């Protein structure tokens, strides 16, 4: 695949980014894609490795290897190298309904398992994927594909995040009449309100939803099933239900002062920011960021997004606290290829903070003991350093005496992840859950719950994870639901 021995001739090159001073002035995507000829060269690096782990799509001891969607990456790279973008897109579309999303927001599990990446910089799979999707859109070749048959069955998909959109797309292609219920005013779930505009332009989300509408999928917006739309009505009106509501119950700071004005969860903050960009509105009851000292509690992609969004909203300073140890710069012995590498990643938000404030905003092995306030508003936080020690339940953080510190701040953003799905529909549908509160299915690998005709997919079933895993879950649940309805 690609050019024979191309990996020996060409080095890895990546998309440039707009200068920090320029990009933080607005909310546009800041990546500057490489020209077509450069990406053709990058595709030539795919090395015909014989056993391409990049699309292995399996998990070993809870650790992912390759693309969960099983994208036919070597074949796609070969077609890009040969200049056949339309055929590359058709090949990509066999396994992936939304490459324009993951070409922007996926951490690229495929590149972590690239065979070339065992010894050299991996093939730029993610950027090639984005190029193929964007180029086809630019050419006007991403068009509605109407289902060729009709089963006469009606399916309700609850939630329009990545798993819900993927599920609705697949169910519709299989000939079912699909209605997607979304409680927000716009479709997309976390794609719309949980990922900042500069990482994923919302016109891309709305554009894909528009194509799905043209293909026959119905979207009911501002309709929360369980409140606005009774569950019993949905069960009566549809032959099956697929729950794709995500795991949006955010982990909260359980410390004194956590209820002070100025403390926000990441989802509250990012939703407010996106609503402000799209509508010019501000969510009532949430504080302004302009000119304030901000502390982000938590790491990962969401923590980075909070740092970058705070900068664009005019924060006077931004710090980021992470309870975990600082990751190594390179793979450790217990993190071998082709597993996803657990190495230190300095993402766009930290880069922006370094240039703007002159330092890396991150502090590792640090946690919050108390949020201090005056008159009901945040005035500072009390932190303490921790060290990780082995306990009966595994490694756990322990406070280091004498490391307490008080810091002034105005805003505290908690980006500590999600604990699981919200309980409303789970209780109304009498669904079984596991110890983490996730929806249980009848057997491992199944998507049918204990309640007949009700399926679950995405983060509701699997737990908080990546967009690409949610898409995979949605497609698999759609196929399971379709086969179930055929049997009935």
Q: CATH number for the domain including 60?
A: 1.10.1060.10
Listed residue (38, 134, 141, 43) closest to 86, CA to CA: 141
Evaluate whether 102 touches 471 at the Cβ level (below 8 Å): yes
Judgement on whether residues 199 and 337 belong to the same structural domain of the protein:
no
Judgement on whether residues 227 and 260 belong to the same structural domain of the protein:
no
State pTM to two decimals: 0.95
Q: How many beta carbons lie within 10 A of that of residue 370, not counting itself?
A: 17
Judgement on whether residues 401 and 385 belong to the same structural domain of the protein:
yes
Residues 169-204: tens digit of each pLDDT: 999 999 999 999 999 999 999 999 999 999 999 999
Residues 389-439: tens digit of each pLDDT: 988 878 899 999 999 999 999 999 999 999 899 999 999 999 999 999 999
Judgement on whether residues 367 and 458 belong to the same structural domain of the protein:
no
Would residue 267 count as lying in a domain? yes
Final residue before a domain boundary, out of 416, 432, 453: 416
Judgement on whether residues 86 and 195 belong to the same structural domain of the protein:
no
Judgement on whether residues 360 and 284 belong to the same structural domain of the protein:
yes
Q: CATH number for the domain including 265?
A: 3.50.50.60
Would residue 1 count as lying in a domain? no
Would residue 149 count as lying in a domain? no
- What does the alpha-carbon distance between residue 322 and residue 469 come to, in Å, rounded to a whole number? 25
Would residue 351 count as lying in a domain? yes
- State the total domains in the chain: 3
Final residue before a domain boundary, out of 362, 396, 416: 416
Would residue 304 count as lying in a domain? yes
Judgement on whether residues 431 and 367 belong to the same structural domain of the protein:
no
Evaluate whether 456 touches 431 at the Cβ level (below 8 Å): yes
Judgement on whether residues 218 and 272 belong to the same structural domain of the protein:
no
Residues 123-156: tens digit of each pLDDT: 999 999 999 999 999 999 999 999 999 999 999 9
Evaluate whether 294 touches 411 at the Cβ level (below 8 Å): yes
Final residue before a domain boundary, out of 393, 416, 439: 416
Judgement on whether residues 13 and 90 belong to the same structural domain of the protein:
yes
User: Residue 283: pLDDT above 70?
Assistant: no
Would residue 107 count as lying in a domain? yes
Judgement on whether residues 166 and 218 belong to the same structural domain of the protein:
yes
**Cα 415–chain centre separation:** 14
Would residue 145 count as lying in a domain? no
Residue 219 domain boundaries: 154-248+419-487
Residues paired with 254 in a beta bridge: none
User: Residue 220: pLDDT above 90?
Assistant: yes
Q: How confident is the model at residue 487, as a pLDDT?
A: 85
Judgement on whether residues 321 and 266 belong to the same structural domain of the protein:
yes
Would residue 148 count as lying in a domain? no
Residues 225-282: tens digit of each pLDDT: 999 999 999 999 999 999 999 999 999 999 999 999 999 999 999 999 999 999 887 7
Judgement on whether residues 279 and 218 belong to the same structural domain of the protein:
no
């Amino acid at each position: 695949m690609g050019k024979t021995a191309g990996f020996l001739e060409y080095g890895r090159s990546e998309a440039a980014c707009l200068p920090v001073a320029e990009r933080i002035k607005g909310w546009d995507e800041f990546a500057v894609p490489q020209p077509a000829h450069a990406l053709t060269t990058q595709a030539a690096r795919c090395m015909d490795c014989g056993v391409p782990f990049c699309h292995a799509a399996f998990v070993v001891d809870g650790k992912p290897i390759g693309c969960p969607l099983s994208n036919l990456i070597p074949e796609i790279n070969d077609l890009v190298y040969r200049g056949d973008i339309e055929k590359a897109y058709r090949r990509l579309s066999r396994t992936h309904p939304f490459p324009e999303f993951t070409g922007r927001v996926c951490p690229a599990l495929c590149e972590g398992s690239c065979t070339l990446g065992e010894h050299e910089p991996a093939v730029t799979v993610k950027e090639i994927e984005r190029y193929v999707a964007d180029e086809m859109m630019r050419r006007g070749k991403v068009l509605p594909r109407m289902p060729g048959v009709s089963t006469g069955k009606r399916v309700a998909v609850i939630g329009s995040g990545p798993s819900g959109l993927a599920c609705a797309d697949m169910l519709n292609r299989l000939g079912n009449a699909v209605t997607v219920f979304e409680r927000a005013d716009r479709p997309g779930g976390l794609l719309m309100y949980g990922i900042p505009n500069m990482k994923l332009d919302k016109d891309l989300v709305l554009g894909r939803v528009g194509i799905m509408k043209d293909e026959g999928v119905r979207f009911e917006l501002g309709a929360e099933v369980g409140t606005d739309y009774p569950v019993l009505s949905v069960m009566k009106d549809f032959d099956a239900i697929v729950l794709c509501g995500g795991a949006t119950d955010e982990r909260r700071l359980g410390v004194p002062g956590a209820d002070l004005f100025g403390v926000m969860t990441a989802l509250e903050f990012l939703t407010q920011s996106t609503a402000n960009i799209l509508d010019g509105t501000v969510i009532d009851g949430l504080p302004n960021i302009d000119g304030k000292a901000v502390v982000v509690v938590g790491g990962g992609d969401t923590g980075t997004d909070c740092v970058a969004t705070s900068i664009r909203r005019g924060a006077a300073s931004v710090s980021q606290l992470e309870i975990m140890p600082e990751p190594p710069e390179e793979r450790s012995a217990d993190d071998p290829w082709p597993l996803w590498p657990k190495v230190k990643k300095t993402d766009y938000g930290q880069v922006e903070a370094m240039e703007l404030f002159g330092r890396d905003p991150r502090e590792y092995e640090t946690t919050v003991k108390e949020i201090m306030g005056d008159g009901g508003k945040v005035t500072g936080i009390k932190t303490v350093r921790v060290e990780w020690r082995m306990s009966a339940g595994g490694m756990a953080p322990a406070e280091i005496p004498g490391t307490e510190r008080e810091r002034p701040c105005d805003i505290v953003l908690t980006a500590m992840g999600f604990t699981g799905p919200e309980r409303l529909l789970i209780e109304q549908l009498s669904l079984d859950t596991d110890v983490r509160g996730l929806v249980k299915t009848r057997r491992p690998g199944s998507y049918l719950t204990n309640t007949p005709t009700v399926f679950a997919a995405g983060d509701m079933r699997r737990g908080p994870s990546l967009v690409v895993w949610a898409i995979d879950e949605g497609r698999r649940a759609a196929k399971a639901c379709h086969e179930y309805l055929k049997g009935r």
